[in-house]
Amino acid sequence: MDEFMKKFSLEGKVAFVTGASYGIGFALATAFAKAGATIVFNDINQELVDKGLRAYEELGIKAHGYVCDVTNEQEVNALVAELEKNVGPVDILVNNAGIIKRIPMHEMSAEQFRQVIDVDLNGPLIVSKTVIPYMMKRNRGKIINICSMMSEFGRETVSAYAAAKGGLKMLTRNIASEYGEYNIQCNGIGPGYIATPQTAPLREIQPDGSRHPFDQFIVAKTPAARWGTPEDLQGAAVFLASEASDFVNGQVLYVDGGIAAYIGKQPKA
Ligand code: NAP
Ligand code: GCO
């Protein structure tokens, strides 16, 4: 590999991706492995972790999988200490684990709102604040927060998710501001609409065989005229995890097929 391309290599690095048994996290971890990193992931129960380990193994990736709830500070502290002692220094952290509850705000309970904020915003805080002291000692680290179009836009029924993802964008900027001097870069990836289990309800075929109205809407709203795939996010993630992005800090890279740039076109007459 020539000197220039080594900047994009993750050889010898340890990458910890939260909630990566499947979906976007799995795709990002797979890309990191292909770029040379050792993969660590967690999920919320052993069944999911085992499912993830099998899926990685089918791709020839020997991942390290752990049961850990990102909202549980004790579990996160114990996991990171275990990784640092027995797997290796956590060079790259991707805060990917997340949930969504699609409920009209006035019908959503405060507890339901809190549950989304807890996983999607407090979770990244907890994992980041646990990993950062180790990164500070080494004077290097990469943190990537998986933000969203809802870091910039609202829509009906996703108030808690938008509040969390908007907050995650600002948490990204604040970590970049507070820890940049330790050679820690913290950036976000803002995926567009990606075909994963999380968005499956928005793509369900209707009883009459037609496409879900939201599916039709979002494809029309996307200049690329399609849903994204988790693999569409892999290049951006490897870039932000590698030395090639050492002077990029506090940014959110939108990988959205152009949605954020597009006002939309007039309906066909
Ligand atoms: P997904 O298919 O629902 O996967 C999310 C993963 O996070 C699941 O494995 C889930 O486990 C895990 N998780 C949930 N709560 C957790 C907790 N407390 N601790 C540890 N793991 C937990 O979602 P996805 O579509 O891959 O999305 C991944 C990330 O990208 C999320 O942050 C999401 O908000 C964001 N995102 C998604 C899209 C999209 O269009 N799909 C676009 C923009 C951003 P369970 O199976 O037990 O829930
Ligand atoms: C929704 C979707 C979106 C995507 C993603 C878009 O209900 O609007 O779930 O929020 O998950 O966050 O970037």
Domain architecture of the chain: domains with CATH: 3-193+229-261 (3.40.50.720)
Q: Pick from 100, 88, 96: which is nearest to 64 by CA? A: 88
User: What angle do the packed helices 159-179 and 123-138 form, to 10 degrees?
Assistant: 10
Cα–Cα distance between 82 and 88 in angstroms, integer? 9
161 — pLDDT class (breaks 50, 70, 90) = very high
Atom 8 of ligand 1, residue of closest alpha carbon: 19
pLDDT tens digit string along 18-41? 999 999 999 999 999 999 999 999
Tens of pLDDT along 213-267? Answer: 999 999 999 999 999 999 999 999 999 999 999 999 999 999 999 999 999 988 7
Tell me the best of 157, 158, 203, 232 to mutate to test the pocket of ligand 2, counting ligand atoms within 8 Å of each CB and taking the most.
158
The residue whose CA is least distant from atom 18 of ligand 1 is 69
Does the pTM surpass 0.85? The reply is yes
37-80 confidence digits (pLDDT tens): 999 999 999 999 999 999 999 999 999 999 999 999 999 999 99
Taking phi over 0 as left and psi of -120 to 50 as alpha, with beta for the rest, 251 belongs to: beta
CA distance 157 to 155: 7
Q: Which residues are catalytic?
A: 161
| Ligand 1 atom at shortest distance from the alpha carbon of 123 | 18
